[in-house]
Amino acid sequence: MEVTVFCPSCGAPQDLGPAEAAKPCAGCSQEVPFKVDEAPGPVVSCPVCGFDKLYARKDFPRRLGCLIVAIGAALSYPTHFISLAAVLVLELIVYPFVPFVTACYRCGSQIRGIARNPAHGSFVHKTALEHEKWKPT
């Protein structure tokens, strides 16, 4: 299991492995607390703040996605839009293989490398507004 937490003081993201209980923040050097619940099976509550409202989303690197689309768009004229079609096909092929990331509504922590809990639905904006403290991008 790997967790990305957001510093409670400055909001800087931190990647934590299972062996690390706390790690000084890269932004403000404050220790970021981290409780690992190494229970087997899908995650039920946030390992950082213990909140039980989590959501699952596809962990597709957004910047990479934008870059691919930009390249496809840039090449669309010389390739007679074949490049745009190629981008679309590429995304359709890759999408099922993109892993899920589970994220916490309250602290924004992202949990990877653990089975997705089927009880966690996709991101609901209303729920996020009710609980979200940080707005990670």
Count the residues in the chain. 137
**Cα–Cα dist 17/36, whole Å:** 9
Burial class (CB within 10 angstroms; exposed 0-12, middle 13-18, buried 19+) of 53: middle
Q: Does 101 help bind Zn ion (rule: CB under 5 A)? A: no
Per-residue mark of binding to Zn ion, 23-42 (x: CB under 5 A): --x-xx--------------
Q: How far is the CB of 13 from Zn ion (least distance, A)?
A: 10
Residues within window 105-124 making contact with Zn ion, judged by CB under 5 A: 106-107, 109
- 136 phi/psi in degrees, rounded to 5: -65, 145
Q: How far is the CB of 58 from Zn ion (least distance, A)?
A: 20
Q: How far is the CB of 106 from Zn ion (least distance, A)?
A: 5
